[in-house]
Structure formats: structure tokens, C-alpha cells
Amino acid sequence: MPSEIAALPGWRQHIEPWWDRYLELLDEIPMTVDVDMAATDEVVREMALHLQTWADELGFDFHDTPRGGFFRIKLWD
């Protein structure tokens, strides 16, 4: 990460705590010509859960319901 980005308060507060795990998940995606669909699907599932938790920590509640997607900004409650 460039030092000028890493020094930003928004980076340190909202992104840095989540960044290492995000990069770890990206590294888990199999990069071969013959795509391992099961392994890729598992990483995509883990990435979705990580991003959903990250967004929730930032104040965004987005999840699926039986009637479709649900979204709210918790700060507006």
C-alpha cells in the first residue's frame, strides 16, 4: 500500500483492519488454466461473507431475504 494512502485516517479506520484478510482470500483463488470450480466457489463464498461483515462494520446492512435483497444505512436509524 502506498504510504500516502496508508496514512489516511479513513484507510486506518475503515479499510486497514480488513485488508489483510481480503488479500488472503484473493490469494486463495486458484489461478490455473483448468479452473477448479469447487475451490473457486469456496473462495467466492468466503469473500462474500468477509465483504458483508466489513460493510456491516462500516454501517451498511445488506443481506438477502426470502423476498429479495435488503439494504439499509445503520447511521440513518
Q: Which domain holds residue 65?
A: 3-76
pLDDT, position 17 = 92
pLDDT, position 68 = 86
| Tally of structural domains, the chain | 1
pLDDT, position 63 = 78
pLDDT, tens digit only, all 77 positions of the chain = 788 888 888 888 889 999 999 999 988 887 777 888 898 899 999 999 999 899 988 899 887 888 888 888 888 87
Taking CA atoms, 70 is separated from 28, 49, 52, 73, in Å, by: 29, 15, 12, 11
